[in-house]
Chain A
Amino acid sequence: MTTSALLMMISVQLMVTLVTIYLFVKVLKTQKNKE
């Protein structure tokens, strides 16, 4: 793989994964606080 393709793949996939995890953790945290 070329460096540009590798960088694009890693940065996009990492970003999407981290944002998804962040949102789910936030859902769990806020829910816990409410309860």
Chain B
Amino acid sequence: MLCFYFITISRSFEIRSERIQQLAYKTLKMYKTNTAIMSTNKESWGSRMGLILAMAGSAVGLGNFLRFPIQAIQNGGGTFIIPYLVCFLLLGIPMLWVEWAMGRFGGRFGYHSPPFIVQEMDKKRQFWKYMGTFGIFINIAVAGYYCYIESWTLSYAWYSLSGTFAGKSQVEVVQFFSDYTDFSKGVPVVTVVSYLICVAMNTYILSRGLQGGVEVASKIGMPLLIIFGIALAVRGVTLGSSGAPEGCTDCDAFLGMNYLWEPQYDSLFNPKVWLAAAGQIFFTIAVGMGIVQCYASYVRSKDDIALNAMAAGWMNGFVEVVLGASIVIPIAAGYLGLEWVKEKAGFAMAFQTMPYLFEQWGTFFSAVAGLMWFGLLFFAGITSSLSMGTPWMGFVQDEFNWNREKSALTFGLFTLVLGLPTVFFYNEGIFDDYDYWAGTVALVIFATAEIILFSWIFGLDKGWNEITMGADIKVPDFYRFVIKYITPSLLIVIFIASFISPAGGDWGRAFVNLSNGQGWQLDSGAIISKLFNTDLKNQLSQATDANQIIGLEKKITYINIGRLLLLAAFAFIAGLIHLAHKKHLKK
């Protein structure tokens, strides 16, 4: 309803004042003069629908099906959707508009990657291009481990088809996954080969370019993902108690759905719930990565971005709220019971539980369901990982005039170098650590910098002009205020909150403890705790078993090496940006 409200309001606003139009023409004239310095990068989108599907594909990922329902359950059930939608309108949509506008703006100057797009927005301060390093670094680091998850979905789709899980108990399916990722007893060939296939597949598709590669993959992948998602969701919401094993009194899909959607209005007054909603919105729409700017930089200067951004953003919301909420939780509750869902629901369910549940549907349907589920996750994964290649490719094509093949190949190699440690040392915690630093913290830093740059340094008048130029919808003036004050404030709050997140995310108790002089107890997931490996060190100090001590020490060492690798990658990319800058100066 909120959205209809905004759409109705939007019609009543007159966005194009004479002054803004004059500014638009003036700016356009300036852009035309500047296109002379454009690179030889000739990429473009084939169609508007292709662009929207690629953008939506970039946002839709495994989190839509696995993270959203778990977050909803842990944060007030049906009520979670209220802060979720509010954050979508105050954080998600504005960030999408801002990033689309930045991208199209940079594209006019011949820039298709974050470093020089953000630099072009503030020519006075030279550090922006180095801040833009995040826009390339995040994508390569995330692609490294994301391709690993993608490779699981690929292997599991094959395993489901070939009946590998037939007759296996739930414990055996869990053990199967542990063996699949365990390198302590030797290298599991299928695991490594599958990973290499995924990286090669991404590299090949990227080498076909935006139109012939990414756009085609999105046009095939997204419709298939939605078809598979609808089929599984229909099964999820109609399952009821038909799959309940004997003696299980709470095995009912409706109980799961009830638990997911039952409003608990008290939670609306809990800051933890609002932070969780803001975090979910932030990570689900793939902002703060540099991908949106990169994709939008290939949009023509007079083409719409406001409606495109809305369409891609809402499509991601549809996959998350409608499909994501109707698959995992109802099916798990139908077979394993509500208590199991309450205690064990989490990301691992995708590979450790779902194959077992599908087996309850008989040989044929389990193979079909497995193929659809892992196929759906695979398409969600590959459309995202492909988008992660484009900022690097845009950068080297613009700045070093590399061709597509060379750009894609170097992306593949870079991804392998950063990703292989997450494959080989998955159980040592490198995978999770990459996800934390590159896939979480770096995003918040970059997004906060971007919104400050756009609203406060580039200037909201120019920024607003960028957002509304060529718009096929009327953007409500209300968003001027949101983009300038609300969205940056929300991002700063998210950043500070993740820095000093209190134990258990319980802010109320943390402030009470602080006022009582009991200090501030940090959560193990807080940035400060993570930085100093506090959780692992606590475990180490309490460990008495020699093997456990050795294991924990090994884990800390590997994690620190992984971080050094990430820092080296960041420094390398920053060095390339510096080289490119020198080339600009010479020109």
Which of chain B's residues have a CB closer than 8 A to the CB of A26? 307, 311, 472-473
Measured in the bound complex, the distance between the Cα atoms of B4 and A23 in whole Å is: 11
Q: How far is the CB of A11 from chain B (nearest CB, A)?
A: 8
In this complex, the member of A11, A17, A27 whose beta carbon has the largest number of chain B beta carbons within 10 angstroms is A27
Measured in the bound complex, the distance between the Cα atoms of B7 and A22 in whole Å is: 11
Known: A30-B304, A30-B472. A17 touches B311 (CB 8 A): no
Contact of B48 among A12, A16, A27 (CB under 8 A): A27
Which of chain A's residues have a CB closer than 8 A to the CB of B85? 12
Q: For this complex, into which size category does the number of interface residues on chain A fall?
A: 20 to 34
- A-B pair count, CB < 8 Å, reads 82
- Within A5-27, which residues are at the interface with B (CB < 8 Å)? 5-6, 8-9, 11-13, 15-17, 19-20, 22-24, 26-27
Known: A4-B78, A8-B78, A30-B472. A23 touches B261 (CB 8 A): no
In this complex, the member of B314, B317, B473 whose beta carbon has the largest number of chain A beta carbons within 10 angstroms is B314
Measured in the bound complex, the distance between the Cα atoms of B77 and A11 in whole Å is: 14
Q: How far is the CB of B323 from chain A (nearest CB, A)?
A: 9
Which of chain A's residues have a CB closer than 8 A to the CB of B260? 5, 9
Measured in the bound complex, the distance between the Cα atoms of B263 and A11 in whole Å is: 13
A5, B311: Cβ atoms closer than 8 Å: no
Measured in the bound complex, the distance between the Cα atoms of B321 and A13 in whole Å is: 7
Which of chain B's residues have a CB closer than 8 A to the CB of A5? 77-78, 257-258, 260-263
Q: How far is the CB of B489 from chain A (nearest CB, A)?
A: 26
A17, B318: Cβ atoms closer than 8 Å: yes
Q: How far is the CB of B466 from chain A (nearest CB, A)?
A: 19
Which of chain A's residues have a CB closer than 8 A to the CB of B311? 20, 23-24, 26-27
A15, B3: Cβ atoms closer than 8 Å: yes
Known: A2-B258, A5-B262. A12 touches B321 (CB 8 A): yes
Interface residues as binary, B335-349 with A (CB distance below 8 Å gives 1, 0 otherwise): 000000000000000
The number of chain B residues with a CB under 8 A from chain A is: 32
Measured in the bound complex, the distance between the Cα atoms of B304 and A29 in whole Å is: 13
B78, A9: Cβ atoms closer than 8 Å: yes
- Which residue of chain A has the shortest Cβ distance to B473 in the bound complex? A26
Q: Cβ of B52 < 8 Å from any Cβ of A? A: yes
Measured in the bound complex, the distance between the Cα atoms of B310 and A32 in whole Å is: 18
Majority SS at the chain B contact face:
helix
Measured in the bound complex, the distance between the Cα atoms of B257 and A13 in whole Å is: 13
Measured in the bound complex, the distance between the Cα atoms of B294 and A35 in whole Å is: 25
Measured in the bound complex, the distance between the Cα atoms of B77 and A3 in whole Å is: 14
Known: A1-B258, A27-B308. A16 touches B52 (CB 8 A): no
A4, B263: Cβ atoms closer than 8 Å: yes
Contact of A27 among B4, B49, B77, B322 (CB under 8 A): B49
A17, B322: Cβ atoms closer than 8 Å: yes
Q: How far is the CB of B47 from chain A (nearest CB, A)?
A: 8
- Which residue of chain B has the shortest Cβ distance to A25 in the bound complex? B311
B307, A27: Cβ atoms closer than 8 Å: yes
Which of chain A's residues have a CB closer than 8 A to the CB of B257? 1, 5, 9
- Within B34-62, which residues are at the interface with A (CB < 8 Å)? 48-49, 52
Q: How far is the CB of A34 from chain B (nearest CB, A)?
A: 9
In this complex, the member of B52, B261, B262, B307 whose beta carbon has the largest number of chain A beta carbons within 10 angstroms is B261
In this complex, the member of A5, A11, A28 whose beta carbon has the largest number of chain B beta carbons within 10 angstroms is A5
Q: How far is the CB of A33 from chain B (nearest CB, A)?
A: 9
Measured in the bound complex, the distance between the Cα atoms of B308 and A27 in whole Å is: 7
Q: How far is the CB of A22 from chain B (nearest CB, A)?
A: 8
- Which residue of chain A has the shortest Cβ distance to B52 in the bound complex? A27
- Within B231-268, which residues are at the interface with A (CB < 8 Å)? 254, 257-258, 260-263
Measured in the bound complex, the distance between the Cα atoms of B472 and A27 in whole Å is: 8
Q: Cβ of B131 < 8 Å from any Cβ of A? A: no
Measured in the bound complex, the distance between the Cα atoms of B258 and A4 in whole Å is: 9
Q: How far is the CB of B306 from chain A (nearest CB, A)?
A: 11
Q: How far is the CB of B142 from chain A (nearest CB, A)?
A: 26
- Within B266-323, which residues are at the interface with A (CB < 8 Å)? 304, 307-308, 310-311, 314-315, 317-318, 321-322
Q: How far is the CB of B56 from chain A (nearest CB, A)?
A: 10
B314, A20: Cβ atoms closer than 8 Å: yes
Measured in the bound complex, the distance between the Cα atoms of B6 and A22 in whole Å is: 14
Measured in the bound complex, the distance between the Cα atoms of B263 and A13 in whole Å is: 15
Which of chain A's residues have a CB closer than 8 A to the CB of B4? 15, 19
Residues of B at the A interface (CB closer than 8 Å) are 1, 3-4, 7, 48-49, 52, 77-78, 81, 85, 254, 257-258, 260-263, 304, 307-308, 310-311, 314-315, 317-318, 321-322, 325, 472-473
Provide 16 A-B residue pairs closer than 8 Å at the C-beta atoms, listed in order of the A residue: A1-B254, A5-B77, A5-B78, A9-B257, A11-B1, A15-B4, A16-B322, A17-B322, A19-B314, A20-B315, A20-B318, A23-B315, A24-B52, A26-B473, A27-B311, A31-B48
Apart from the given pairs A4-B78, A12-B81, A27-B308, 6 other A-B contacts in the complex at a CB distance below 8 Å: A4-B263, A5-B257, A5-B262, A16-B321, A23-B310, A23-B311
In the A-B complex, the 8 residue pairs with the closest CB atoms: A8-B78, A5-B261, A9-B261, A5-B262, A23-B311, A20-B318, A30-B472, A1-B258
